[in-house]
Amino acid sequence: MPADAAAPGVSLERLLTLVLALDEAHPIPASELARRARVSLRTIYRDVRRLQEAGVPIVSEAGRAGGLLLAPGFRLAPLGLTRGETLALSMAVQLLRCQPERPFRAELETAARKLASAARVERPELLADVQRWLRVEPPADDAFHPERPPVGARPGEAVVGATVQTFVEALVAGRSVAIEYRSPYDAATSELHVDPAGVVADRGLWYLVAFPRHALKRARYLRADRVRRCRPAEPMDLERQARWRPGETRPWLHEAMRVWIEASPVVLEMSTAQWQRLARDWYFGAGVVEPAGPEGGERVRFTWGEGEFERVREVLSWLGPPARLLAPEAWRARLRDGWLAQAAVHGG
């Protein structure tokens, strides 16, 4: 009996798997394709010939790193996915990419390329490089900064998810969005008209990265759970991208911290060891630290933005001596009176 007489017959599933395997950025040796399909090399060559006769442009590249691949410029037919399904899978791939221990490392990259190739969206380049607009922050160490309670009722998970979906769909479609946004500090609601630039996933929250329309201002980071309404509007004037510095975590927090420091700066002087302890916290790590004078030695000056006295008192109590408050000066007397009262309570 011939060597390949017992080889499998024509299998549509095997042919489809072969086409998907060839839709990669580099050639694949026929021997590797045979190993994956668990058939003989002769069967693989027969399958390739059948696909070529059906119009699939499979080419071969010679050389040590050669093999078979789809002709450059050939795109697979859509996988039967809607635009929303394609975006959901592309975001899921990026979220898994950002895990510290990443399973299916090689398969994630080939899946991402196939999704981008088969996608039918207005801005396909955004699916080819999802990390340009989707950022996933690492787990946060929350040493001493509880979440501020919301003003009013917080929207449900389905509402927040729908907001992020509308925002991402507008980004990929190249459209601006109209947003109704509620401040966390009061009950005021503002109407914003912005151009989407990206999204950030951080500590179980979603942040929408957007530029104000018709204004060359820096990006804003809007928490999705504070958005009351989000709807697509007219095409964007400029397709701007968030400028994320390499190695910088939580860019939204660094942007916001600069604004908070301008509005209500708090300055502490502390030991270097105390600062190293405080800097491990996801929130305080975005503050500004500098030497405490020309001869600071083992002391530093730390500045962050905070408008509530009680939060500052709690941080100083947590740090302990030699940390001390430098500004605002008006709070120093309140600190002293409070600690004297504590000393009297514990004196007995």
In the prediction, which pLDDT does 100 show? 66
Q: Give the C-alpha distances (Å, rounded to integers) separating 34 from 65, 105, 240.
A: 17, 22, 46
Nearest to 239 by CA among 304, 158, 173: 173
In the prediction, which pLDDT does 85 show? 85
In the prediction, which pLDDT does 1 show? 32
Provide, for the chain, the percentages of residues in helix, strand and coil under a 3-state DSSP scheme, each rounded to the nearest 5.
40, 20, 40
Helices marked H in the chain — which ranges? 12-22, 30-37, 41-53, 83-97, 105-118, 125-128, 157-173, 251-263, 272-279, 309-319, 330-346
Kindly report, residue by residue over 120-137, the tens digit of the pLDDT. Answer: 777 878 888 888 889 888
Q: List, for the chain, all residue ranges whose pLDDT scores fall below the cut of 50.
A: 1-8
In the prediction, which pLDDT does 192 show? 92
Please answer whether residues 95 and 58 qualify as being in contact, where contact means their C-beta atoms are separated by less than 8 angstroms: no
The topology under which CATH files domain 12-70 is Arc Repressor Mutant, subunit A (1.10.10)
In the prediction, which pLDDT does 51 show? 86
Out of 3.30.1490, 3.10.450, 1.10.3470, 3.30.70, select the CATH number for domain 264-346. 3.30.70
Kindly report, residue by residue over 178-216, the tens digit of the pLDDT. Answer: 999 987 766 678 899 999 999 999 888 899 999 998 777
In the prediction, which pLDDT does 266 show? 96
The structural domains of the chain, with segments of one domain joined by +, span 12-70, 83-132, 157-256, 264-346
In the prediction, which pLDDT does 27 show? 85
